[in-house]
Structure 1
Amino acid sequence: MSGPLAFRLAAAGFALLAILVAALQARRPAPSAPAAAPIQAPRPVDAQLARCQTLGAAGAQDPQCLKAWDEARARFLGAPKAER
């Protein structure tokens, strides 16, 4: 087999392979969109945390902020209700 003929056969094989892969991809079903998470009303502790965030460094001495951060930490870390 001569060089140019082998090159043409390899190029044609590559083109056929690319067409086959494209046809198989076109037959795959499109992924469905993920379901939207239900919108929940903000918890009172979240409003308190937002207030504490606006206080800045002064929030570290505010008893309401310390309590809100403790509740948020327990909720986030999944502490058992008996420990709260």
Structure 2
Amino acid sequence: MDSKMLVRLGAVIFVAIAITATVIELTRQEDTARVRTAPQLQPSADPLKAMLRRCQGLGEAATRDGDCLSAWAESRDRFLGRTPVPAAPQPDER
């Protein structure tokens, strides 16, 4: 084989590899496009989760906040699979 033939053969192999890589990349882009639409199917935001985030931002002050205490109790009940216990009626103080 002479040098011209080797150069041509190298060019053909290079073009074949480039076409193969392009086809693979184009098929990957189609797959990622389908994946991007999946988050739309997720349920709406949980109000308990938002409350827990707010309490997290309060830091130590959240231990004295009634809303945070009730949110933690509800979260604990959900985690343990318990039904929340209704609050005992407070006696009238007169």
TM norm structure 2: 0.46
Higher helix proportion, which one? 2
